[in-house]
Structure 1
Amino acid sequence: MREYAIAAIILVFAATMLVSLFGLRVVRSTSDFYVASRRVSPRMNASALAGEYISAASFLGVAGLIVAEGTYGLWFPLGYTAGCLTMLLFMTGPLRRSGAYTVPDFVSLRFSSSRLRVATVIIVVLTGWMYIVPQLHGAALALTTTTGLPAWTGPAAVIVVVLATVLPGGMRSVTIAQAIQYWIKLCALLIPLIFILLQTNTLGGPGLPGWDASVWHDGTGTSPADFYRIVSLLLALMLGTIGLPHVLVRFYTNPDGDAARRTTFLLLGLLSGFYILPVALGVISRAVFAEGELSSPDTALLRLPSAVFDGAGGDLLTAVIAGGAFAAFLSTSSGLVVSVSGVLSQEFFGGSVLGFRIGAVLACALPLAMAVATAHMALAGAVAMVFTFAASSLTPLLLLGIWWSGVTAQGAIAGMVTGAAASLGSFALGRGLELGWGTDAVLLNYPALWCVPLAFAVAVLVSRYGGARPPRNTAHVLARLHLPEG
C-alpha cells in the first residue's frame, strides 16, 4: 500500500505544479495575480470554488464524523451547501460590484475607516491561518496512515507545493489548479465507492458484515443539548461561509455580478453531487468498522478499501483516496494562502507582485509551525470552529455593510471585535473544561447560536446609539453594490 499511496500523492503534486508553470505563462499583470484580471468564466470559477471549498473536513472529516456519531455527521454537508445558498442570496452580486480586491478593500469602500480596515485585516489573516492548520493536520494524518512516514512530512510537502503553485502565477494559476483538483477529488471518492458497492448486497455482491439498519442508530437529537448542538452547527456553517476570506475573494474574479451569481448556482450543483460520496462511504465505514476499532475516525476512508478488499485491489483504491485527500489539502490551502497574501501585500507591501509573493510565504510560515507543534483534532470539529469564528466576526460586518444603510464604522468594529472575542474565548474555555474536568460544555463548544446574534446586536446598538454617523457616501456606495452594472 505504501508504494501505491506515495505514487498517487506524487502524481497529484506533479499535476498541481505543472499547472503552476502554465499559470506563469498566462500572467500578464498585477490584476492577474490578485483576481485573474476578473475574466474567469462561471463554469471555471464554480469548479475552482468547489475545489477550494471541499477541504479536509469535507473529504475525510464527514465520513469520520458519521463513523463516530452516526446521523449527526449528515448535518455538515447540509450546512456547507446551505452556506453557499446563503451566499448566493445575499453576497455574490453586491460583493463583485464593489470592485474590491480583498475584504479590507471592501471595508474601506463602504466605511472609509482606517481603524476598521486594520481590525478587518487582523481578523481575515487570523481566519486564514486558523483554517490552514486543519488542512495541514489532515495531510499529516493521511500520510502517516497510508505510508508510515513521519507526521511532519505531510504539512511540509503541502506547503512546498502550495508555494510552488501560488508564487509563479497567483490567482490565475491557483484557479486552474483548483478547478482540476475538484474533479480529482470527485473521482477519488466515486471510483472506490463504485467498487465497494459491487462488494455489497446493494449490487449483488457478497455483502459486508454488520450491514443493517443499526448503522444509523446513535441517539443523536434526542436531548435538548443535541438539538442545540445541531442548530448551532447549522448556523455556523450557513453564516460562516459568508465570512471565509478565500471564498469571498473568488467572487472578485468574475467579470460582473451576474456571472458571480451564476458561479454560485453552478457551485451548488457541484457540491450537492460531491457530498453524496463521503456520506455514502461514511455509512459503509460505520457498518464495516467496530466501535473503537479506528485510532481516529478521520482515517475511516483511508482504511476502508483494505477492510473490504484483500491484496492489491484494496491498496490501489486506498492510493486513489490518498491522492484525492491531498488534492483537498492543496486546493483549500492554496485558496487560503492567496486570500491572506493578498491582504498582507495590500496592507504592508504596496500591493505589488513581489509583495504578494512575500505575503504568500508569510501566510504559510505560521500555520506550518502550528501544525507541526500541535496535536491533530477531529477535522470536522476544527473546521466548525473556524466557521463559527468567521460567522461571529466577519459575517455581521459584511451583511450589515451590504444591506443596512444605518451601520456605522464604530458599530461595525464593535460587532466584529465582540463576535471574535466571544467565539475564541468560548472555545478556549470549553476546551479547558474538557481537558481539565472532562465536562462537555455544549454552550461553549458550540457557541454560534449565541455568539452570532450577540455580534449583530452589538453592531446594531452601537450604530444606533453610539454617537457616530454612517459615512456620507453611503447612498452612493449602496447604489453601486445593488444596481446592475452599466
Structure 2
Amino acid sequence: MVYTTAILLSLIGYFVIGHLAGRRVKHLDDYLVAGRNAPTFLILGTLVASYLSTSAFLGETGFAYSGYPFVMLIFASVSTSGCLLGALAFGRYLRRSGALTVPEFFGKRFASRHVQVIAGLTTVFGLGAYLLGVMQGAGIMFEELTGLPYWVGLVLVWLTYTGFILYSGSPGVVLTDTVMFVIFSLAALGGSLYIINDLGGWHGVLEGLMSQSDKPGIALWHGVVRGSDASFASPGESLTWGLTLGLVWAAVLAASPWQASRYLMARNEHVVMRSAMFTAVALAVFYALMMMTGAAINLYKPDLDAEHAMVWSALNVLPTWLGIVILTGVFAAGLSSCSTFLSIIGFSLSNDILPPSRDEKTAMRTSRLAVLAAGLIALVLALFQPPAVMAVVWFAATLFASSWGPVALMSIWSRRITAAGAAWGLVVGFVGNLLLSLADQAGWISLPVYLHPVVISTVAALVAILVASRMTRVSQSERDYLAFLHQDDESLEAGWMTGSRWVAVCTMLSGIGIGVFLWNQYAETLAGLAGRFAIPDSSVWGAYALAVGCGGMLFIAGAAGYWVVRARKPAMTAARSMEP
C-alpha cells in the first residue's frame, strides 16, 4: 500500500508542477523551446533525465546483473564522452541557429523543406518506438509496485505526462525533468551505497562475486564468457561490443533529437557546453555505481529475471523509506523520458511535417493536437505490444546514430555536403539500420559483434551522402548559412568564458577522481584477490586499463571543452544578432 501511495502521489506532483510551468507559456517560442532562456541546471536535468529512462535502471542494470557490469562500464565511458563532444561539435552551433526543432535546423542549413520533412519523419517513427519502450517500462513498474493491472498503470502514466505537455509544452517538460533528475539521482546514489556497503564495500562485493559459481567471471572486466547463457564468447568479443556500442551511443548522445533539442532551450551556447560537461560527469558516476550494484544483487539472489533485479532489491533489501525513494526514482526516470519523447514527436509533427501554420495561435493549437494524437497512438500500441524494454529502446536509439549522426556533424564541418546528400544520408542510415536490425532479430542474418547493423548502415549513409553530394552542387544559401553558424557570438561577456573554463577544469578533475577510485577500489582489490582465485594476469591488467580508460575518457572530454572555450576571445566588435 505504501508503494502504491508513493507512486500515485508522485504522478499528482509531476502533473501539478507541469501545469504551474505552463503559466509562463505565452508564445510559440515559449511552448516549443521554453523561451530559449533555460539555465545550466535545468538543461543538465533534462539532458540526464531524457537519457536515463527505465531502460537504464531496469535493462542496463539487469545486463550488469546478468554478468557484465564492467563491460557496461566500458560502454558508458565511451558513450558519455559523446555528450560533451557532441555539444562542442554540434550542439553549440545548433543553438546559434535559432531553430524551433532539430529537423528545422536541417531545413535551414540546407535551404530545403524536403530535408526538414525527412528529418521530421525519422523523428516521429524513431522516437515513437523509443516512447513505446519507456512507456512499457513505466507500466511494468506500476504493476509490480501497486498490484494493479498493467493497463491501468499505462493509462495513468499517459494521462499525467500528456496532460502537462498539452498545457505547458517545453517549460513543463524541462521543469519536471529536472525534479525527476534530482529524485532518481538521490535514489541511485542512496540505493547503490546501501547495497554495496551492506555487502562489505567494493572489496566484499568483488570477493563475493569471485566466490560464487553461478556466473563465473562476472567480477572480471570482460564479464561471463563461459557457459550456455554467456552473451559473449571471449574477452575480445566483450571488449568489441563495449567499444562499438559505446561509439554508437556517443553518436546518439551527440546528435539524437531528444538530446540535441535540449540545447535549443539553453540561454546561450555557454550553457550548452556547461550542461553537457556536467551531464558527462553525472552519467559517469551513475554508471560506475549502478553497474556495480546490479552485479552485487547476485549475492542476495542469483536467479532473478534480470530486468527486475533492481525492483526486487528495492522491495526486499533496502529499508522501506529508501525503497520508496529508489522506486519512485526509477518510475520518475521512465516518466521523464515519456514526456520528452512525446513532446518532441508532437512538435516535429506540427512544425516539420504538417504544412506551416498561418499564425502563432494556430501553430500552438496544431502542436497541442499533434501531441494528443501521437500520445493516443503510443498508448494504444503500448497496450497491445508485448513489453521488451531494453530491446526496443536500444533498437530505436541506434536508428539516429546511423542517420542523424553523419548528417549532423557534416552539416557543421563539411562545405561539400548538399541538400541531396543530407536527404539521402538520413534515409539510407535510417531505413538501412531498420531493415538490418529487423532481419538480425528475426534470425534471417547473423552478424558479428563488430558488424552491428548500426555500423553497416552508418557506412552506407556516409557513402550515400558523398555520392549524392558529388552529383549536386552546394547552393549559395547553404554556403551563407554555414558561414553564419561559424561566427562566434560576440555578445557574450568574458565572465561566461571564465565560468565555462572552470566547469571544464572540474570535468577533468572528475575524470581523474573516477579513474583513481576505480584503480583503488576495483583494480587493486582484484589484484589482491588474484592469488586466492587464480585470476589471470590479463584480467588484472584489464582492470587497471579499465580504470585508466574510464577516467581518461572523461578527462579528455573536459580537456576538449577547456580548449574550445579557451580559443574564444573576448568580443572586440559589436554584438551580432542570433539570426542570419
Q: Which residue of 1 aligns with 2:408?
A: 398
Is 1:455 equivalent to 2:453 in the alignment? no
Paired with 2:266 and 2:415, the residues of 1 have a C-alpha distance of 26
Please tell me whether the aligned partners of residues 86 and 254 of structure 2 are also in contact (alpha carbons under 8 angstroms).
Answer: yes
SS of residue paired to 1:193:
helix
Deviations 1:63-95 (A, max 9, x none): 101012323333443344122023123111111
* Structure 1 outlier segments of 4+, above 6 Å: none
Change beyond 3 A, Cα 1:399–1:418: same
Residue 442 of structure 2 aligns to which amino acid in structure 1?
G
Distance 2:329 2:292 in 1: 16
Deviation at 1:224? 5.8
Q: Which residue of 1 aligns with 2:13?
A: 15
The CA deviation at 1:221 is 6.9
Q: Distance in 1 between the 2:474 and 2:131 partners? A: 35
Question: Structure 2 CA distance, aligned partners of 1:203 and 1:171?
Answer: 41
Alignment partners' CA distance in 1, 2:247 and 2:379: 29
Deviations for 1:232-279, whole angstroms, at most 9, x for unmatched residues?
A: 312221112233212121111112222211221222222223333322
| Contact 1:84-1:264 at 8 Å conserved across structures | yes
Equivalent residue in structure 2 for 1:34, among 28, 32, 39: 32
CA 1:49–1:150 in structure 2 vs 1: closer, same or farther (change >3 Å)? Answer: same
Deviation at 1:155, TM superposition (A): 2.3
2:67 alignment partner, SS class:
helix
Question: In the alignment, what sits opposite 1:300?
Answer: 309
Structure 2 partner of 1:64:
62
Letter in 2 for 1:322: L
2:383 matched residue in structure 1: 372
| Residue-by-residue CA offset, 1:338-393 (whole Å, 9 max, x unaligned) | 211111121427262211211111221222222221222252x3322122210111
2:484 to 466, 480, 484: 480
Paired residues of 2:137 and 2:389 also in contact (CA < 8 A) = no
Give 3-state SS (helix, strand or coil) of 1:91's partner.
helix
Q: Can you list the C-alpha shifts for 1:431-454, whole angstroms capped at 9, x where unaligned?
A: 1118xxxx8644699312222122
- Matching residue's letter, 2:466: V
Task: Tell me which of 258, 262, 272 is aligned to 1:246.
Answer: 258
Q: Which of 296, 313, 332 is matched with 2:337 structurally?
A: 332
Give the residue type in structure 2 aligned to 1:393: S
Matched residues in 2 for 1:74 and 1:109: separation?
38
Cα distance, 1:331 vs. partner?
A: 0.8
Most deviating of 235-244 and 422-431: 235-244
User: Which AA in structure 2 matches 1:357?
Assistant: R
CA contact (8 A) 1:19 1:177 kept: yes
Q: Distance in 2 between matches of 1:137 and 1:423?
A: 23
Supply the distance in 1 between the matched residues of 2:194 and 2:239 (Cα, whole angstroms). Answer: 36
Residue 257 in structure 1 maps to residue 241 in structure 2: no
CA deviation after TM superposition for structure 1 residue 110, in Å = 1.0
Aligned match of 1:270 in 270, 275, 282?
282
Distance 1:80 1:145 in 2: 31
Q: CA deviation at 1:204?
A: 11
Query: 1:477 is aligned with what amino acid?
Result: Y
Aligned-pair identity in percent equals 24
Deviation at 1:225, TM superposition (A): 4.7
> Residue 475 of structure 2 aligns with which residue?
471
- Distance across 2 between alignment mates of 1:427 and 1:267: 29
Q: Residues of 2 paired with 1:221 and 1:52: CA distance?
A: 33
AA partner of residue 455 (structure 2): L
Aligned mates of 2:224, 2:202 — CA distance in 1 = 26
What is the CA-CA distance between 1:198 and the residue it aligns to?
A: 4.1
The secondary structure found in structure 2 opposite 1:152 is helix
- 8 Å contact from structure 1 (residues 233, 448) kept in 2: no
Cα shift at 1:475:
2.6
SS of the residue 2:476 aligns to: coil
The higher relative CO (CA closer than 8 Å, separation ≥ 6) is in 1
1:98 CA drift (Å): 0.8
What is the rounded CA distance, in whole Å, between the counterparts of 1:316 and 1:86 in structure 2?
38
Matched residue of 2:443: which SS?
A: helix
Supply the distance in 2 between the matched residues of 1:194 and 1:104 (Cα, whole angstroms): 42
For structure 1, which runs of at least 5 residues remain unmatched after alignment?
none
Task: Answer with 177-186 or 43-52: which moved more.
Answer: 43-52
Distance, in Å, in 2 between the alignment partners of 1:203 and 1:424 is 41
How far, CA to CA, are the matches of 1:226 and 1:204 in structure 2? 24
Q: Once the 2 structures are TM-superposed, how far is the Cα of residue 301 of structure 1 from its aligned partner?
A: 0.3
**Do 2:129 and 2:396's aligned partners in 1 also have CA atoms closer than 8 Å?**
yes
Structure-to-structure mapping, 1:19-418, within 5 angstroms = 19-70=17-68, 71-202=70-201, 210-212=208-210, 214-216=217-219, 217-219=223-225, 220=232, 222=234, 225-290=237-302, 293-294=303-304, 296-308=305-317, 313=319, 315-346=320-351, 347-348=353-354, 350=357, 352-379=363-390, 381-418=391-428
Task: Give the TM-score normalised by the residue count of structure 2.
Answer: 0.76
1:9-59 deviation per Cα after TM superposition (whole angstroms, max 9, x unaligned):
112212211211211222222211011111111222112221222112222
- Once residues 474 and 202 of structure 2 are traced to their aligned partners in structure 1, the CA distance between those partners, rounded to angstroms, is 63
Contact 2:65 2:298 in 1 (8 A): yes
- Kept in 2, the 8 Å contact 1:408–1:470? The answer is yes
The 2-side partners of 1:69 and 1:56 are apart by: 19
Distance 2:78 2:165 in 1: 29
With normalisation by structure 1, the TM-score equals 0.90
Measured in 2, the distance between the counterparts of 1:234 and 1:150 equals 36
Amino acid at match of 1:420: F
Distance, in Å, in 1 between the alignment partners of 2:468 and 2:76 is 35
One-letter code of the match for 2:375? C
Q: Mind listing any 5+ residue stretches in structure 2 that lack a counterpart?
A: 212-216, 226-231, 490-575
Aligned to 2:506: none
Which of 1 and 2 has greater Rg?
Answer: 2
Q: Secondary structure of 1:112's partner?
A: coil
Q: Residue 323 of structure 1 aligns to which amino acid in structure 2?
A: T
The alignment partner of 1:121 has SS state of helix
